[in-house]
Structure 1
Amino acid sequence: MHALSGIRRRGGLLLVLVLCALPGLAHVRSGQPLEYDQDTPIILAGVDATGGLLGSWRWFVNDWPLGSHLYRPVTVVSLALDRRVWGEWAPGYRLTNWVLANLVNLLMVWLMLALTRSGLAAAFACALLSAERWGFSRATLSGTEEYAVPLVAVALFLWWQGMAARRAGKTRTTLVWEAPLVIGLAALVVLLYERRDLGTTSTWIATRTTHLGTLFSTAMIALLVVYAQRQQPKFLVLAVAACALAMASYEQAVTAPAIGSVWLALIHPHGPRAGLRASAGLWAVLVAYILVRQAVFGLQPNWYYRMQVRTRWKELWEWVEYAAPLFLDRTIWRVRPEGWLALWYRPLWLSVLGAAGYVLA
């Protein structure tokens, strides 16, 4: 009976994943055309000029084609691979983004099952990610029909889970108390991840960087959870590799070592000290990232909007000046454009809550 219940739950979550993926196909079919994109054609031209996919290794030791002092070699390689596969067919590039987004959903479902042991939390997290990615606008929280399919998916799964729980002997009162807890934890953990709406983004490259950074960051946390459960070093090595790929895809992933350290400190079976010792590899990746950036960009100043600085220090110090506010922005407080500081829930604190939920579950 337990095995049958597990099969039913996996079948229900697979249905949720499929339903949550469907709205994104509209963006694949009729998304932003290439002629309105300012950045991606420049990057594709740079890829062509350096030998396409076979020459894409050069971007690991050079500034990317936009010349804006952003170290994103993994992103450029992914576009070089797209160039080889899709050529000039624009929907193909958006299809790759759609696949990456759904891989994040799949990882999120697994992660929520590992953290909460609740299929409802997994379904809700998947639907929340999908609703934001396919139809979420930061200007409005309503008026978008893309919410319909993910919410229907959650409603169906909630009914499915409720029927199974009642057959298992749980009372209606227990279900009423459990549902908000697991849904709340899913909502908190899902906010860890960078998302970009495929329907409103102005460039493919902006979407690709966030999707790759999100995918590898999510994979890092999932691998750390597996490592904590099984205590096999290979999963820790894979988590460190995922951390490195995230940083090489998206600058905002510089906070990944701190987030990973919090997870390890809280869920390591031998206690926080053992978890922090295990996180040394993540911090080694951060040090290597800084050194590589310094070697690639040398002493030249940045002009990119968030990396623009008012000093003429060496690249290492410019990077610190860029990374420090970003790290604070994603951990303790948010720096408002008006210049004042406000306490804000950010990924590091959400990691504490998520990992604590795992420990207490």
Structure 2
Amino acid sequence: MEYGPVRSKMSDRARAMCAAANAAVAEHDRVDKLFKRSCHDVDAHLFADVEGFPLNAVGDLVWFDLDERSKIERLIVRLLRYDKAHSGGRAPDVWHCLLSSVYPFMTSWGIDKMLLALVLRTLHNRAKGRCWVQYIEYACGRGNLSKAALRRGLRGVSFDKIYSSSHDVLTIAGLRLWLLALAASLPKCLVWHGTQCSSFVTLSLSQSLRYKENDWLGDQDKLFVKVGNMLADITGLTMCLAFLMDGVEVLEQPLNSRMPLTPCLRAALVFTCAQKITTYHSCFGGETLKPLQLWSSCSMMTALARDRPIVMRSDAVLARRDKNGGFTGVKHLLLESQAYTLQFGDAVISALLSSSS
């Protein structure tokens, strides 16, 4: 019996497997380098060309398309009307304070003019050919969603304070950076908000005390609650701006998070006509069930909806109820669940790209 041909076939198969493994490693390294440049290394200098506002010599906003400007102004009036109806008018005060800290020259302006200025800046940059950002991931964590975008050849930026203190949106520099990314955004840019949820979920309810009676703002004497409220207010601002800039705005939260119920964000979701999309991280290769709620005005994101799967493993849940009715988190699973899987990131980018194909 001759064994030569068999050895040759096995050798060819081994070489093919080795080549595939090497290609996968090379692709992983390539994407990691791109992610570092588009996340770790991102600062305000990257956006120097898009920072200026379209103002004339006396400081008035200028835009050549009067019909488009009028449309944006009407939308902003509607936004503020919704905010007054759904959140008691919280947004103008909070957003004015935030934007005044970043742009002191706007302090004497009304919030309507501030919002108009931010939108017209982006439109001006697009008209000048200065925009290049196709995705923005706020609070990106491990960045698997951003890496999926990079693998598909998209250009964008990712922010998280774990990579740079300049990304911390609770600082003036960080908020400026978040807004600069929008100033460089192209139409249909994905603007993904993975805003920190820790003070909004059921697991922290006994401490946060977020209830309908306090408009879901919780015990504001506690720092972690105040921080959560500010993050929700900023998320509402950037969701509205992305919508006004013809972006694809998305908020992701655990299904039991009360963040979408908070005043500014509630008004933002009503204004943008956002749909609630329910899905499960385990359907995308996640180790835990992790029910998710996604909010977006863009119908292509409904492609991420999934029915609740049957969970076979008892450890595939993030928290368990004790005999007293309280919840205890499974620490290692909670930490792991904070990161999206690569499969989830791929699904998001596939949904985004399907709308332009």
Whether TM exceeds 0.5 here: the answer is: no
Pair member with larger Rg: 2
TM-score (norm 2): 0.33
Higher relative contact order, chain-length normalized (CA < 8 Å, sep 6+) = 1
